[in-house]
Amino acid sequence: MGEILLHSVMTKRSQGQSTFGRMNFKRRLFILTNESVKYNSGKDLDNTGTVKGEIKLSKIQIVEEVSGGSLSGQNGFPFQIVYNETNNPTTAVRLYVIAGLRKDKDEWIAKLRSLIANNSGIEATFHPGIFEKAGSGLRWSCCGALALESKGCSNTYFHQDEKRKYFYVERRKAAVPKPKTFTVVAVWDLTAQQPATDLNLTRGEKLEVLDAVTDQHWWRARNTQGQIGMIPESYVRKDGVEVREWFHNIESRPQVEQMLKEHGKDCTYLVRPSARGKVKYSISIYYMGQVKHYHIQQADGNFWVNEKNKFHSVDELLDYHSMNCAGMVCRLRHPLLRNSAPAPILGNQFGNWLIEPREVNYGAEIGYGQFGVVFKGQWRNYDVAIKTMKEGCMNEEDFYDEAKIMMRFNHPNLLRFHGIVNHQGQVAILTEFMKYGDLFKYLQKHPSLPAQTAVVIDMCRQIASAMKYLEDSRFIHRDLAARNCLVGDQRVIKVQFVCRYVCLFNCQFMC
């Protein structure tokens, strides 16, 4: 274990504390060594009990007192330890500890600060309050900020002294690069639901994205009037080919072929991302019952399908081929335009995963699983699946952890997570609705599909793409099966999962 520097029995607030019920506090034996802080179920060093958690000192970013909020009503002297095992700011964990005596609190804070003084990730600011429910939403009790990841409202101990401030800020800048800005174009109109924090969007307007890292679904951006606020990433596209109405963000050939065949009009075309690594875009054309695909080659600022005819942009290329076949099966006469319906807003507003019950309409029961009944419903005029939880099947901490994990992900082949709703005392998860249900039952209803090699390969490609994304995010899925893959329009496959099936590579496995 290493040399024990401090040990005390103190009260710990559950890290995954939910806002649905009353707070959960547990007495733990805290043990500090030169390497970590451990908290055990025992009462003293002779009977330490089992290890309930461990925090590596090298990962700690903040050690500060707590004032205000729901902890102020507890008997004792609270302080907080904030640590992060990744470089993603959304994964920071806050551990709230209540010491029985003021001298214990002061001793622990002083010792921890001395041990972490040279950590590279020390934060400049912090929140002295608690992020908890207030009125109809969640906010910091100290400053009223609505986002969990919002910048702290007070300077940390290490940034109150100018000499230390210079030293630590410079180290932090070297360790955490400044997010890159880029330009996007709004593809749908949107009226801000929270005018105090969000921006209105007008179709076609350009915005500069300032932060697309902190939250993958909600970006911080500046419009042409200089106003700064949050925008949903699903309502914008990067400036260029992707904002054109004839561009469809679908790599899968079978999906594109099905779309064009359903349209059924000769010389109808669309542009899509190419699944081929060296080629960025492809043109797909419907003619005489068949769909042909052509790669758009690109080099030295030129674009072409036929090397004899090169152009400075994709728009010029399409204009030319609308009048000339030039190696294609037919002219490009009828662009297949994107669906005019607005894209669903993924997640809730910037880290706020709790959805108001009045925004959700329950519909028919469509299934049931190990954890509870699944309903079809509507949220903000979008079809959703409402997955209720049986009483006692999962504690609230695990449920909250699941929400935090699912909010991080943004991939076309992972089931979209919208948030959590507490309806008449029953807690439920809201996800996007997949109209054809799970893949296992879908294949049973369509027994001829397994014989269609191209379709099967495309389904496997979609599932593999989702698994690669999880792996790149340092997560694994531990129950990948056809029953956990859902089917939507154009045979889009999306993998669903719950917290007990997903874990960090560097964490202990939990069953």
Positions annotated as catalytic residues are: 479
Runs of H (alpha helix) within 246-377? 253-263, 314-321
Bridge partners, residue 375, by sequence:
365, 386
Pair of tokens at residue 349: 């507003």
Contact criterion met (CB below 8 Å) for 441 and 485: no
SS (H, E, C) 423-461: ECCEEEEEEECCCCCEHHHHHHHCCCHHHCHHHHHHHHH
Count other Cβ atoms within 10 Å, centred on residue 290. Answer: 11
Contact criterion met (CB below 8 Å) for 82 and 94: yes
Q: Are strands 426-432 and 206-211 parallel, antiparallel or unpaired?
A: unpaired
Q: Measure the CA–CA gap between 111 and 356, rounded to whole angstroms.
A: 43
**481: phi then psi, degrees, rounded to nearest 5:** -155, 165
∠ CA 88-90-96, nearest 5°, is 120
Which residue in 273, 169, 258, 271 sits closest to 490, CA to CA?
Answer: 258
Query: How many C-alpha atoms does 334 have within 13 Å on its Cβ side?
Result: 10
The end-to-end CA distance of the chain, in Å, is 26
Pair of tokens at residue 285: 């054309």
Q: Measure the CA–CA gap between 79 and 66, rounded to whole angstroms.
A: 5
**445: phi then psi, degrees, rounded to nearest 5:** -75, -20
Q: Measure the CA–CA gap between 380 and 21, rounded to whole angstroms.
A: 26
Q: Measure the CA–CA gap between 202 and 188, rounded to whole angstroms.
A: 7
Helices (H) and strands (E) in the chain, counts: 7, 31
Burial of 268 (0-12, 13-18, 19+ CB in 10 A): buried
